[in-house]
Amino acid sequence: MDDYQKEIADLERQLEQLVEAEGDAKTIAELTMQLDILKAIYTRATDLYVQGRGEEGLRFGLRIQGYGDWNLDNVYAFVYERSVELDAGAHGAFVGGINQADFAMMLNS
């Protein structure tokens, strides 16, 4: 389990405890949104990481954009920063934007 998975698992536990304790609805909603976003970014980063292990162009794109060598931390940083640049809009649209974004193309542009 990497650090990103641990962060997601910790947030899931915190959210479960809040729900069980019938905690503040606004806090639960905010943590749920944060969890959705972290899961989407992690999924896209790991997918891109696996794809890039077999594609030199992606690894080169990451390096020339200043993120360094091809490893999960650097790919995650790239996906995270590009996700933040997406039009936030409503929560569902933001998570959908992360899920639909072509991060491989962003590396090659």
User: Mean pLDDT for each 10-residue chunk of the chain (109 residues)?
Assistant: 92 93 88 93 97 95 96 97 79 81 89
Cα separation of 63 and 40, whole Å?
23
The pLDDT score that the predictor gives to residue 97 is 87
Q: Which residues of 62-91 are buried (b: 16+ CB within 10 A; e: fewer)?
A: beeeebeebebebbbbbbbebbeeeeeeee
Residues 6+ apart with CB under 8 A from 70: 49, 52, 53, 58, 59, 62, 63
The pLDDT score that the predictor gives to residue 91 is 57
